[in-house]
Amino acid sequence: MSDYSPGPWSAHLHTGSMDGEAHINGAHNCAIAYVGFGTETETHYVRGEEAKANARLIAAAPQLLAALQFVLSQYEEENPETPLPVGSIRVHPLWVADARTAIVKALI
């Protein structure tokens, strides 16, 4: 497994002739991903507002991963085997399993 580019990541939304396209920069201000690139006639490219939304979501990935890892670690410290009351909500074991699956997917 390789480490991903360090965060924070930022989305840069293009305007003008490249409107609807975006790129994501890593911590060292280097592009790590491009979203929505292609010509108007290429139907397999996502462009416009959807591409911009995708870029913002991708840019948030390191922070989302860190938050999920923290929440899961707090849960596991308290009681890893049974649902734990969190405010008025009970944490279901399947939710914890989904969180673990998402973390593994992000890191492998």
pLDDT by residue (tens digit) across 26-61?
Answer: 988 889 988 876 666 666 666 677 777 888 889 988
53-80 average pLDDT score: 83
Q: How far is CA 87 from CA 69, 91, 96, 102, in A?
A: 19, 10, 16, 24
Q: pLDDT at residue 101 above 60?
A: yes
CB 96 within 8 A of CB 72: yes
Instruction: Specify which residues 33 forms β-bridges with.
Output: 24
Predicted local distance difference test score (pLDDT) of residue 74:
78
Which two three-digit tokens encode residue 101? 């699956």
For the entire predicted model, the pTM comes to 0.69
Q: pLDDT at residue 79 above 70?
A: no
Q: How confident is the model at residue 22 (pLDDT cuts 50, 70, 90)?
A: confident
